[in-house]
Amino acid sequence: MKIPTKKLKTGFEMPVFGLGTWQMGGRKEHDLDNDDEADILSIRTAIDSGITHIDTAEIYANGYSEILLGKAIKGYDRSKLFLVSKVHAENMSYENVINSCKKSLERIETAYLDLYLLHRHNPDLDLKQTIKALDYLVEQDLVKNIGVANFNKEFLAEAQSYTKNKIVCNQVHYNLEFREPEVTSLLNYCQNNDVFLVAWRPVGKGNLLENIPSIVKEMCDKYQKTPAEIAINWLISQPYILTLSKTRNIEHLRDNLNAIGWEMEQNDIEKLRKEYPNQKNISDTVPLG
């Protein structure tokens, strides 16, 4: 299956759906009991199913997720993949950003990243210097595009003001239940400023697929889709929104891919926006993943 893309006005294009790797190889530390083969196979199965956008980070399993990704992509045409990694907030000094990126490239065994993200804003470091390091990585062709994650709209605007390179995305927590980007107008800001909002945790780590609210059941009946397909499609049917989900389960992968290639009606998008129960909007923890 060919995953559709969305395009910024600048011409930059990204697939509407990608594969996450949080918890592949461990959580914050490398889990020595991890089933590496299962993780590698899940990445390869995703690529064989048409997924090109794969998201990782230097802190995932303390770098081990990147190593697994490197093993998984061996033998595939690199130019057809869209690989994303992130620099940890503690490594955002000018020198450390560059070092972190080079180490990620070594672990993934690739010459470049398609997109490199700041994992979150670090108020203790000079954002201007951090962005300067991202610009250097672009100049050196180690990174094709730059972006951020978990930035509010003020920091996103500030980051953009320091670079001629386009900040192409902000990767943030957003799903049917978690609505902070709507409440803070970050979503509107991205839509008005030609920036992709890449929604992480689209199925709430699977929690959105339990105790299905009646409004979702209604949509499942109307569109003949599963709750996961509704949750993912609700995101990507909205302008400027892309998403990525992690799965190691082939049935879940199929389910998630069935969310693609059709569009929910605008009135149903708005109905879900309004009527989905128990919406949350304040993140009470530092993002994990």
Ligand X SMILES: NC(=O)c1ccc[n+]([C@@H]2O[C@H](COP(=O)([O-])OP(=O)(O)OC[C@H]3O[C@@H](n4cnc5c(N)ncnc54)[C@H](OP(=O)(O)O)[C@@H]3O)[C@@H](O)[C@H]2O)c1
Cite the annotated binding site by residue number: 119
d(CA 215, CA 68): 39
d(CA 40, CA 131): 32
Residue 170 is a binding residue for ligand X (CB under 6 A): no
* Contact track, ligand X, 77-106, x by CB under 6 A: ------------------------------
Query: Which stretch, 98-106, 154-162, 185-193, 244-252, contacts ligand X (CB under 6 A)?
Result: 244-252
**Active-site entry in 60, 116, 189, 240:** 60
One residue of 81, 157, 209, 212 binding ligand X per CB under 6 A:
209
d(CA 274, CA 259): 21
Give every CB contact of residue 63 below 8 A, 6+ residues apart in sequence: 30, 103, 104, 107
**In 156-261, beta strands by DSSP E:** 167-173, 196-200, 241-245
Nearest by Cα to 171 from 188, 157, 156, 183: 156
Q: Binding site for substrate: what residues are annotated?
A: 119
Question: Restricting to residues 123-152, which ones interact with ligand X according to CB under 6 A?
Answer: 149-150
Q: How many chain residues are in contact with ligand X, going by CB under 6 A?
A: 28
d(CA 252, CA 273): 24
One residue of 205, 271, 273, 280 binding ligand X per CB under 6 A:
205
Residue 246 is a binding residue for ligand X (CB under 6 A): yes
d(CA 227, CA 112): 36
Give every CB contact of residue 27 below 8 A, 6+ residues apart in sequence: 61, 288
Residue 71 is a binding residue for ligand X (CB under 6 A): no
8 A C-beta contact, residue 262 and residue 223: yes
Question: Would you say 173 or 268 has its CB closer to ligand X?
Answer: 173
Q: Is 64 a catalytic residue?
A: no
Cβ of residue 144: shortest distance to ligand X, in angstroms? 19
Query: Which stretch, 5-13, 29-37, 125-133, 241-249, contacts ligand X (CB under 6 A)?
Result: 241-249
Question: Would you say 119 or 121 has its CB closer to ligand X?
Answer: 119
Residue 116 is a binding residue for ligand X (CB under 6 A): no
Query: Which stretch, 45-53, 125-133, 199-207, 262-270, contacts ligand X (CB under 6 A)?
Result: 199-207
Cβ of residue 267: shortest distance to ligand X, in angstroms? 25
Burial of 278 (0-12, 13-18, 19+ CB in 10 A): exposed
Quickly count helices (H) and strands (E) in the chain.
11, 10
Contacts with ligand X by CB under 6 A lie at 20-22, 55, 119, 149-150, 171, 200-206, 209, 228, 244-249, 252, 255-256, 287, 289
Mind telling me the catalytic residues? Answer: 60
